[in-house]
A and B are shown apart, each in its own frame.
Chain A
Amino acid sequence: MELYSLSIHEAADLLARREVSSRQLTEAVLDRIRQVEDRVKAYVTVTEELALKQAEEADKRIAAGNAAPLTGVPAAIKDVICTKGVPTTCGSRMLKNFLPPYQAHVTERLLDAGLVMVGKANMDEYAMGSSTENSAFYPTRNPWDLERVPGGSSGGSAAAVAADECIYALGSDTGGSIRQPASLCGVVGFKPTYGRISRFGLVAFASSLDQIGPLTKDVTDCALVMNVIAGHDRRDSTSAPLEVPDYTQSLIPDLKGIRIGVPQEYFVEGMDDQVRASIEAAVNKMEELGAEVDWQVSLPSTGYALACYYIIAPSEAMANLARYDGVKYGYSNMRGDSMWRNLELTRQHGFGEEVKRRIMLGTYALSAGYYDAYYLKALKVRTLIRREFDAAFEKCDALVTAVAPTPAFKIGEKTADPLQMYLSDVCTIPVNIAGLPAISVPCGLADASPEPGRGGLPVGVHIMAKPFDEPTILRVAYAYEQATEWHKARPKL
């Protein structure tokens, strides 16, 4: 087995036993990046020098006997998370040369744990997109089929994990941006409860929906990363002042006493037959493992979540993106004849098409005469969606659905039709609206083509629970994963 293909827990064992050094592990991952990155394009920036320096520090720490589980293990950080002195572009021309003067909370936590950062992962500009085609630099490709998208917006993070260009990654999820690419790339992707992880230093998209989370090779690794990054931070007033459990305690291989619900509305029109079959098989497996399954759960407002989201998220985004003025930081267009004209030109040329589209939607929804009909209405629908989840969680410990209605689609397939692209997040969006935690775990491989030996395209199963019940999600995910082989499948690159 190559060193770059290790999971965190496998790498940590070898590091603890001094069978490999962090330097060797890091060099193996950097070699792997050199080998496949031309084809995958998972990174905006590869931080080789920094990674080798951090690996050296990690080796000293391991030698001194005070290593933590993540110490010396190479990681990718989505380029929406601030890394002091390392470019943080947000996939945008606007921030192409931005060097954050501070660390994000999660970066600080990982550094304390002995981070080795190999690079900043590519993404849809400002995390707006479902395919990573909206990156201002280049699209990332799906390691399972280079003609297909990796999903988005954390497509670089998911592709880097799937292609073994890092051992784990961080992403962010506003409407599915961790879970959908995890599903399409065949890795584990976890969006924790809103408030579980500080958003300090996460470049803001939609502040009531954004949440940081891990993308990993298995569920055990997910628990290990959560143990480091979860918890209260006074610099984010929406981070929850709650105790953080040891998530590795949730890694229990049976589901006795767990009540699972399958909401019917999530089997949406147009869902791929192979995806549907994979989800049904996953639920059957969970039943075999001891779970009680209710196949008839109903969340009637599900079909309204997408419209609700595409009012709320752009409205919040518009307010957040108003800070880009070409004066304080970022791209600046000074060809105008006045300060106002420069501001208008800076935004026209600094933002890409999807970002402008959402700014326009948000500005429209909040403008005089439309506020009540769109924005306020959406906030009320948000209450209805949350209430339905609350009622469902009175009877169920977890809800299980598909993550994405189809496996990875072709590059360019949906770029001309924004609404079709938005529909690829139809199963993940309600979770953000309600602020719930949810995970994507590999549960199948759909046939990509009749050609044998292509390895197929990954499918992920979506497990949700009530707010702050990450332990139940990890338990269901872990028990399912341990009883199946899907997480061991790797793309042939």
Chain B
Amino acid sequence: MAITREEVQHVAMLFRMSLSEEEIAKFQQQLSQIIDYFQILQELDTEGVPPTSNPLPLQNVMRDDEPRPSFPTDDILANAPRSERGFFRVRAVLE
């Protein structure tokens, strides 16, 4: 196996996502298989090759910083699971 059970749990927690026992076992096996497959990239010599993060030759697209209307608060909060007095409501972050 390319990755361990602990690594699966560690990676899930890096994303702040919990997984069931069944998912951990399944993903350990499947991700190992897929990550093994990724090793074929090591066959290619990429010495001195620059990385491409975007296919367009665009750089630093700028616009004037002009004030303009944004969405009304009520429209945005309409999709919120919980809101109160114009704010998103979450559980206490600080104990």
Contact = CB atoms under 8 A, between A and B. Distances in A.
Point out which of A359, A380, A382, A434 has the most chain B C-beta atoms below 10 A from its C-beta: A380
Contact of A361 (B31, B58, B76): B31
Nearest to A349: B18
B76 to A, nearest CB: 6
A168 B31 CA distance: 38
B19 A363 contact: no
A344 B56 contact: no
Contacts of A356: 17, 19, 23, 27
Interface stretch (A278-286, A371-379, A476-484): A371-379
A295 interface: no
Interface in B51-89: 51-56, 58, 61, 63, 71, 75-76, 78-82, 88
Majority secondary structure, A binding face: helix
Interface stretch (A61-69, A94-102, A184-192, A446-454): A94-102
Contacts of A301: 44
Given A101-B71, A304-B44, A311-B38, A329 B79 contact: yes
B38 A310 contact: yes
Chain B contact-residue range equals 35 or more
Contact of B50 (A318, A367, A383, A435): A383
Majority secondary structure, B binding face: loop
Given A356-B23, A381-B41, A418-B30, A237 B15 contact: no
Contacts of B58: 195, 237-238, 240
Interface of A: 97-99, 101-102, 194-195, 208, 234, 237-238, 240, 301, 303-304, 307-308, 310-311, 318, 322, 326-332, 334, 336, 338-340, 342-345, 347-348, 351, 353, 356-357, 359-361, 363-364, 367, 374, 376-384, 386, 418-419, 433-435, 467
28 contacts: A101-B78, A101-B79, A194-B56, A195-B56, A208-B55, A234-B63, A237-B61, A301-B44, A304-B43, A307-B38, A307-B41, A311-B38, A318-B15, A329-B81, A345-B18, A347-B17, A356-B19, A356-B23, A356-B27, A361-B34, A364-B7, A364-B11, A377-B42, A382-B51, A384-B46, A386-B55, A433-B55, A435-B54
Interface of B: 3, 7-8, 11-12, 14-20, 23, 27, 30-31, 33-35, 37-38, 40-44, 46, 49-56, 58, 61, 63, 71, 75-76, 78-82, 88, 90-93
